[in-house]
Amino acid sequence: MKTLTLFRHAKSGWDAPVSRDFDRPINERGIKGAKLIGRHLRTKGWAFDYVISSPAVRCTETLDALWEGYGEILHPNWDRRIYLASGATLLDVVQDLPDEVSSVLMCGHNPGLEDLILMLVPDVAGDLLRDEVEMKFPTAAVAELKFEADNWSAVATGKAKFVRMIRPRDLDATLGPQMDRD
pTM greater than 0.85: yes
Distance CA 27, CA 29 (A): 5
- Read off the pLDDT of residues 102-118 as tens digits, 9 standing for 90 and up: 999 999 999 999 999 99
User: What is the reported pLDDT for 178?
Assistant: 64
Tell which residue, 27, 13, 107, has the closest CA to residue 67: 107
Domains and CATH numbers, the chain: 2-11+23-174 (3.40.50.1240)
Q: What is the pLDDT of residue 32?
A: 96
Is residue 182 scored above 70 in pLDDT? no
Chain mean position to CA 110: 9
* 108-152: pLDDT as tens digits: 999 999 999 999 999 998 889 999 999 999 999 999 999 999 999
Find the range with the poorest average confidence among 5-9, 48-52, 71-75.
71-75
Q: Residue 94: which pLDDT band, with cuts at 50, 70 and 90?
A: very high
Contact partners, residue 57, CB within 8 Å, separation at least 6: 18, 22, 23, 24, 25
154: how many CB neighbours lie within 10 A of its CB? 13
Nearest to 11 by CA among 140, 168, 150, 143: 140
| Helix H or strand E segment including 103 | strand 103-108
Pairwise CA distance, residues 28 & 81, whole Å: 27
Between CA 37 and CA 141 the distance in angstroms is 8
Amino acid at 160: A
pLDDT in tens, 12-45: 977 767 788 899 999 999 999 999 999 999 999 9
pLDDT at 147: 98
Residue 102, pLDDT score: 97
How far apart (Å, rounded) are the C-alpha atoms in residues 84 and 27?
Answer: 19
Angle 12-175-6 from CA coordinates, rounded to 5°: 60
